[in-house]
Structures are given as structure tokens and as C-alpha cells.
Amino acid sequence: MRRSPWPFLTARSDLVRPVVATSVNLLSAVCYLLFCPGPLSSGVFTRPEILLRIEGAFDLALSLIFFEAIQGNWLLFILLLLVPDLAMLGYLGGARMGTVCYNLAHTLAGPFLIVAYAYLMKSLWLLPYALIWTAHIGLDRMLGFGLKYPTRFGDTHLGRMTDEK
């Protein structure tokens, strides 16, 4: 019999069921808001910035749910949550360098690579770091901080952040 590389999912089924139920309830609530007649359903599908913010909220929520499911250290979570923003130091080297550094630290490719590596190498101690990183990205997206363009810091894929001229 092959052992699962995710023992917390098999050994902690009492945690997995509430995680799945919470995720389904969250998804149901958002779908209700999006598809039922009301203020959100009128133009949400024609405004990508709103969809991307909702997607960010899901990233954040699922990261928190799974962090709890793997029994992650919440002090570690709090201490490392804003670490990806250190990539803004790249702007000391100019707008182009800052954009590259910031965007590399704020895409999901990095944390997904960590999850894949953790699974393949059975290095499950890396999972909390990947989940903290995805939580940060989700929080940024939810708040409207998008990937940057090299023109200026406030120009993002979610639109202009400020009214600077």
C-alpha cells in the first residue's frame, strides 16, 4: 500500500471536511452575489478589475483555509505575510528593474513551483511558505494592487492605483 505524501489530509480528515465545507459555502455565497439579480450582477462580468479582486479574495481565503488545514504556525504567517513586498526595493534600481522584481514576487508561479517541489521531493515543510506567499498575492489582488507596468508604480494590470498625473 502506497503512503500518501499528504499525511495531514488522510490523518486529519476531521479538518479536511470543514475546510471543504467552508470552501463550498464561500463559493456558493460569491456565486449567489454574481448571478442573482442585485447590485453586483449588473456589470461585474464587464469589469475585469472586479473579477480579479474577487479572484484575489478567493486566493486569500483558500490560502488561509489550507494553512489552517496543514496546522501552519500563525506567528510565522504574520511575520512573513508582507515579505514579498520587499521586492519593491527593486525600484531603487529604476522603474524597469522594480517592475521585474515586483512582478516576479507577485505572480502565482513561484508559490506553485514550491508546492510542486514540496510534493515531488516530499518536503512538506515548504507548504506553509507557499501558502503564505499565495495569501499575500491574494490580499494584494483583493485590495487592488496588481502587477506593475514599467511606466510608474501606480500603473497596474488592475488599472491606475492613484490619480497621479
Residues 15-64: tens digit of each pLDDT? 555 555 566 566 666 666 655 655 555 566 677 788 888 899 999 999 99
pTM: 0.72
The residue among 91 and 24 whose pLDDT is bigger is: 91
Angle at 62 between CA 13 and CA 160, to 5 degrees: 175
pLDDT in tens, 126-165: 999 999 999 999 999 898 887 887 776 666 666 666 655 4
Domain ranges, ordered by start, for the chain: 12-157
pLDDT tier, 4 (very low <50, low <70, confident <90, very high otherwise)? low
Q: Does residue 12 register a pLDDT over 60?
A: no
The residue among 109 and 19 whose pLDDT is bigger is: 109
CA torsion, ordered 19, 23, 26, 27, to nearest 10 deg: -170
Q: Are 85 and 104 in contact (CB under 8 A)?
A: no
- Angle of helix 127-143 versus helix 109-120 axis, rounded to 10: 160
